[in-house]
Amino acid sequence: MNREPLESSTISGNLPQLTEPFSLAWLLHPVSTTDFIRSYWETAPLVVHRETPEYFSRLPGLDDVDELITATTSGPIRSVDDGLMVRTDARGTRTDRRFRLDAGGMPDVQEAYRAYHDGFSIVLNRIHHRSGVVARLCGALEVSLHHPVGANLYLTPRDSQGFLPHADTHDVFILQLHGTKEWHVADPLDSLPLASAKSGPLKSFSGFRAFTLRPGDVLYLPRGFPHEAVTGSSSSLHLTVGLHVFRWIDLVSEALALFADEHTGLRSALAPGFLDAPLDAARLATLADELARAAISQPLLMERAKARLGARVRATGKAAGGGHFRSIDAISGLTLDSVVARAHGVLCRAGSTAEEARVEFAGNYVSGPAFLAPALTFVAGHERFAVGELPGPLSAEDKIDLVGRLVSEGLLHCTDNDDGGES
């Protein structure tokens, strides 16, 4: 086995924490986002070793896991695998358990304690549904990347292994929060697998490179890279941030659906008995050619397809951050000099027609007459501004009323409260 560190992909240093936490730049520092996208995105692992163990101190730590186990969400967002206990023994046999729920539907945390003591890793899936600070991290990365982002939390006892070697079908950032963990990463067997590809334990796993993550370190793994992780003399807590990227096939699929709305040929049925007959290759080629020509000659078609992907990002549900009720209380004191900012980690988009202007964000929207278009476009393009800076044919009262509406709907917050939960 090759157990050498990833020399060409490892950055080390004693690093100051940046003033804008949770952005992609903060996560990668000192690697620039430009270098990351050019040299590592979808192609190669990246390890950043930091001599700053408190770098991720705003994220959940070891002492928060108990509460997160028992923190529940209601409704269809909750899944049976929100919490798992996983152990792989020395023979390579994996054992899984789901959290046992009591009569009131609460996870049995005492059972989790016993399982952890017996060598089981505690897995909290979709933690962005339960932790406001993790939701803020995921939202900030969505603002930077424009792809859906979610997160799982993994607590592994010492001298243990949770999962067998496997390859994920989505890219991940692994943030080491507590303790240490040794990671083994091999070259991909399948480049950029689709999300629908089957994933499971690998039949063979060799030729990997090994390295250790410590608190404050981060690892980027593109999808398809086989990996496993084991603990040594200390337990380990890490956050896996999953990037569920949109691919070109997703954009083409959205465009095809839109094209079918206007093209009856795509909506017509396949011939009766088509399974026993050859397909009409000429007709298929004609349809493909028409779609290709529409994609080139009708830019609006592809823009609408792109907008539909954007709507899917903005609609992803996450836990709310704290402190926004303070901003709502402050609406009555807004003036033209008041400075407001976009809510942290919220991706928004402005658009207009001859009759209406609107700004869409987080599964919500605010709309109004078309003359609001310049103001709403300005809001979507600026993370921080004074109320009086809003452009367009608006009176002072109009500007204050519009900003108040956007604060009450959750898009903007009043910066006078930045020392509270939103900071």
Question: Do 351 and 307 reside in the same domain of the chain?
Answer: no
For position 313, what pLDDT does the model report?
87
Tokens (6 digits) for 310 = 């954007």
Same-domain pairing of 276 and 335: no
User: What CATH number should be reported for the domain holding residue 333?
Assistant: 3.90.930.40
Query: End-to-end alpha-carbon separation of the chain, Å?
Result: 46
Last residue of a domain, one of 196, 222, 243: 243
Do 368 and 295 lie in one domain? The reply is no
344 contact partners, CB below 8 Å, separation of at least 6 = 22, 136, 139, 140, 321, 422
Cβ neighbours of residue 95 closer than 8 Å, sequence gap 6 or more: 86, 87, 88, 89, 120
Domain boundary, last residue among 281, 314, 347: 314
- What pLDDT does residue 79 have? 61
pLDDT tops 70 at residue 37: yes
Determine, yes or no, domain membership for 1: no
What is the model's pLDDT at position 127? 93
Residue 71 pLDDT class (50, 70, 90 cuts)? confident
Residue in 272, 279, 407 with CA at minimum distance from that of residue 338: 407
Q: Which domain-ending residue is among 202, 218, 243? A: 243
Q: How far is CA 386 from CA 188, 229, 341, in A?
A: 50, 48, 9
Please indicate, yes or no, whether residues 72 and 181 belong to a single structural domain of this protein: yes
Q: Are 337 and 388 in contact (CB under 8 A)?
A: yes
Mean pLDDT of the chain: 87
Q: Which has the minimum average pLDDT: 30-44, 145-159, 188-202?
A: 188-202
Asked whether residue 319 is assigned to any structural domain, the reply reads no
pLDDT 10s digits, 167-177: 899 999 999 99
Looking at the structure, tell me whether residues 225 and 274 fall in a common domain.
no
Query: Would you place residue 80 in the very low, low, confident or very high pLDDT band (cuts 50, 70, 90)?
Result: low
Shared domain check, 292 and 230? no
| 190 secondary structure, DSSP code | S
Is there a domain that residue 235 lies in?
A: yes
79 and 210 share one domain: yes
78 and 20 in a common domain: yes
**Which domain covers residue 277, as residue numbers?**
248-314
Q: How confident is the model at residue 2 (pLDDT cuts 50, 70, 90)?
A: very low
pLDDT tier for residue 4 given thresholds of 50, 70 and 90: very low
Residue 169 is assigned to a structural domain of this protein:
yes
Identify the three-state secondary structure at position 276: helix
Residue 76 has pLDDT above 50, yes or no: no
Q: Is 60 helix (H, G, I), strand (E, B) or coil?
A: coil
299 and 347 both lie in a single domain: no
Whether 422 maps to a domain, the answer reads no
Residues 6+ apart with CB under 8 A from 343: 321, 324, 362, 410, 411, 412, 413, 422
Rounded Cα gap, residues 15 and 53, in angstroms = 10
Query: Are 274 and 387 found together in one domain?
Result: no
For residues 56 and 21, membership in a common domain is answered with yes
**Does residue 302 lie in a domain region?**
yes
Instruction: Look at residue 3 in the predicted model and tell me its pLDDT.
Output: 38
Residue with more model confidence, 100 or 228: 228
Residue type, 403: V
Location of structure tokens 């993550």? 213
Q: Are 377 and 366 in contact (CB under 8 A)?
A: no
Mean pLDDT of the region 210-224: 95
Q: Is 369 within the bounds of a domain? A: yes
Count: domains in the chain: 3
Instruction: Kindly state whether residue 91 falls inside one of the protein's structural domains.
Output: yes
CA separation for the pair 392, 202 (Å, rounded) = 59
Indicate whether 180 pLDDT > 80: yes
- Asked if residue 60 and residue 182 are part of one domain, the reply reads yes
